[in-house]
A and B are shown apart, each in its own frame.
Chain A
Amino acid sequence: MSTPVIRTQGLTKEYVLGAETVRALRDVDLTIERNEYIAIMGPSGSGKSTFMNLIGCLDTPTAGQYWLDGTPVSGLVDDELARIRNHYIGFVFQTFNLLPRATALHNVELPLIYAGISKKERIERAVDVLEKVGLGDRMEHKPSELSGGQRQRVAVARALVNRPSLLLADEPTGNLDSKTSTDIMALFDELHAGGQTIMVVTHEHDIALHAHRTVTLRDGIIETDVTNDRALAAAGSAPAR
């Protein structure tokens, strides 16, 4: 078997607030293989976003190890993490996090700017991925000129443009109505079918049902880790585990 995309060992995150220590994540061991589609669930405050930020190299753990594509990243500093995020991670946020004054095209182009890719190639790749998410005719629009679903598709395009090892989404449909949510999840299904490894943080069961595996957190600890038979059945294949 190839190297897992993600492997964590004893991953821990604590926040010190005055005299009190909040243990947002405790001793999390998790392995995610290539082309897995995993949902992270759990009640509010259970540590889902904390976990995702660590996995996405936005944050550093208090303790524990983390390998991304076989590379240990838990000890890296700011600028090295920036490089990892730029090359291996694609983020989709609940609030989209698009630059409000930039066009859809420029928003999608951003990760490539920081990857030092030439203007010409940047445009080619950004146009390509925008067409893939069905926004070929909205490239010059600013976020304020797009619907919620379109904004989230720009965010997905931006997350995909650097061809990441891992697509991370923290409640990607939290700000969308159910029809639009379905569209976005269909897009995720399609990306997964194309070979993309995906991790989605969500509250909602029907969103989690798109994934093939569901990890539930409670008080910073993995409570359950189950394969999602219904989704697997829908995809018509057996788990590769």
Chain B
Amino acid sequence: MSLLEGILLALNQIRAQKLKSFFAVLGVIIGTMFLITVVSVVEGMNRYMEEDFAGAIYGLNTITLSREPEISFSSDPDVYREYRRRPRITFQDADAIRAGLTVPALVAVESYSGGNMVSELGIEIENVWLTGASADLLRIRDMDIEQGRGFTAPEDRAGVPVIVLGAETASTLFGSLDPIGRSVKVRGATFRVIGVMKKQGSLFGMSMDNRALAPARSPMGRLVNPQGIVDRVLVKPFETDDMAQAQIDIEAIMRVRHKLRGAEDNDFAIETAAESMSFWENIRKILMIAFPGLVSIALVVGGIVIMNIMLVSVTERTREIGIRKALGARRRDIHVQVLVESATLSLLGALLGIAVGVVLAQIVQALSPLPAAIAPVWMGVSVMMGVSVGVIAGLYPAARAARLDPVVALRAE
């Protein structure tokens, strides 16, 4: 009997017992579906991280100096205790870097905080993303001004209370009125609106447009951080090739300023978008290692179910097997027949699982900010897993069937 005939025979058998077959492969369907969905979302996340996220947090070709890493997933409380003991980053640090860099670069300080804002019309917004920064931050972070202008370096140095609003903040506070020249209040300090940023959309479902930006040395600096302290210093070399040298410079300058000796670890964090990607790479690796484990469990359970159903099926068909053996089927023939049936069954389950997984990934993409990208490799992997699970699950039932004594089997009811 050829393999094709074997598969056709198996399909016949499966068609004759649709519901039972469906339940037999439910485990495989779920395992495969799970695999395809999660892999799609992880792959989608990966693209998203590469294309949007890292750039948005760190800025492209930008070096970030801060007290502690921007994102940290360590579970060790000692690590965080050590972060707390570190000295804060200051305006003086930024000035020292600006003076000591050996490559041409933009240098800016930046501090964030959330806070309420009231317009001169008496309208209040809660939890505006407030930033105190140097004038060059607009250039480093590629923030485009839609209307009016950004603040200047002299304005920052003098601490002039001017402010640039996010698109959403401006429209909420002033509606259709022109916000330029009007005033807003943040915790009692008054700022004059000089510009409105271009709409930026959202990151992970969070609006990037409900924000305000003012000079770090204006009252805003004090509102978001203690006097003289900043969250981070951003350095963007004019030439991408200078990134490495700039990082070396910053590290050397900061080690001198913090009086660190040769063997002592840095008590500050220097990060780039590329590093954040390596961090994401690590998460992805862990996911990709841990996840197949979960899928394997589903497949093992699925395999056990298939094995049991095949055992039942073989028992129910004892007479058929007896007939086949009486007519000349060898052990191998029966063995192959049962294995092909089991593999075909499991393969159908895997195909179904892939289909459902693809649909689920699309639904996740439609309903959440998580993107999905389906890698054909993983479909191939799923198909192969389906067949393997079927073959392995079929081994024992096949051996049982093949060993049946024809006389005994023919007597079975």
Binding site for B on A (CB under 8 A): 53, 56, 58-59, 78-79, 82-83, 85-87, 91, 93, 97-99, 101, 110-111, 113-115, 119, 158, 162
Q: Told that A58-B406, A97-B326 touch, could you supply 4 new A-B pairs with CB distance under 8 A?
A: A53-B407, A58-B410, A78-B330, A99-B323
Binary interface encoding of chain B residues 315-331 relative to chain A, with 1 for a CB under 8 A from any of its CBs, else 0: 00001101111111111
Whether the pair B328, A58 counts as a contact (CB closer than 8 A) is no
The B interface is mostly helix, strand or loop, or mixed, namely: helix
A110 lies within 8 A of B324 (CB)? yes
What is the bound-complex CA distance between A101 and B386, given in angstroms? Answer: 27
Looking at the complex, which one of B16, B319, B328, B332 makes contact with A97 (CB distance below 8 Å)? B319
**CB proximity of A14 to chain B, nearest CB, Å:** 14
Q: Does B1 contact A (CB under 8 A)?
A: yes
Measured between C-beta atoms, what is the minimum distance from B329 to chain A in Å? 5
Nearest-Cβ distance from residue A80 to partner chain B, whole angstroms? 9
Nearest A residue to B332 by beta-carbon distance? A79
Which residues of chain B have C-beta atoms less than 8 A from A82's C-beta? 325, 328-331
Within 8 Å of chain A (Cβ to Cβ): is B12?
Answer: yes
- Neighbouring B residues of A162 by C-beta, 8 Å: 328
CB distance from B297 to the nearest CB of A (A): 36
Query: Which residues in A have their C-beta under 8 angstroms from that of B1?
Result: 113-114
A115 and B331 form a contact (CB under 8 A): no
Q: Please tell me if B333 contacts chain A, counting CB pairs below 8 Å.
A: yes
Complex: A85 Cα to B407 Cα, angstroms? 13
User: Using Cβ atoms and an 8 Å threshold, which residues of chain A touch B326?
Assistant: 56, 58, 85, 91, 97
- Closest B residue to A54 by beta carbon equals B407
Q: How far is the CB of A109 from chain B (nearest CB, A)?
A: 10
Residue numbers in B under 8 Å from A111 (CB-CB): 327-328
Partner of B331, one of A59, A79, A97: A79
Selected contact of B327 from candidates A53, A78, A101, A114, CB within 8 Å: A114
Contact indicator A114/B329 (Cβ below 8 Å) = yes
Interchain nearest-CB distance for A87 vs B (Å): 7
**A58-B406, A113-B1 known; A78-B331 Cβ under 8 A:** yes
Centre residue among A56, A58, A86 by max chain B CB count within 10 A: A58
Q: Which residues of B contact A110 (CB under 8 A)?
A: 323-324, 327
Q: Chain B's nearest CB lies how many Å from the CB of A236?
A: 35
B18: min CB distance to chain A, Å: 14
- With a CB–CB cut-off of 8 A, which chain B residues contact A101? 12, 16
Question: B328 contacts A115, CB within 8 Å?
Answer: yes
Tell me the complex Cα distance, A110–B333, Å. Answer: 12
Q: Which of B5, B16, B328, B329 has the most CB of A within 10 A?
A: B328
Rank and list the top 6 A-B pairs by shortest CB-CB distance, nearest first. A86-B328, A114-B328, A79-B330, A111-B327, A82-B330, A59-B407
Q: Is the CB of B328 within 8 A of A87?
A: yes
Does A83 contact B328, Cβ atoms closer than 8 Å?
A: yes
Q: Which chain A residues border B331 with CB–CB below 8 Å?
A: 78-79, 82
Closest chain B residue to A101 by CB distance?
B16
Q: What residues of B have a CB within 8 angstroms of the CB of A86 in the complex?
A: 327-328
Give, as a whole number of angstroms, the nearest-CB distance from B412 to chain A.
11
- CA of A110 to CA of B321, assembled, Å: 12
Which of B324, B327, B406 is the most central at the interface, judged by chain A CB atoms within 10 Å of its CB?
A: B327
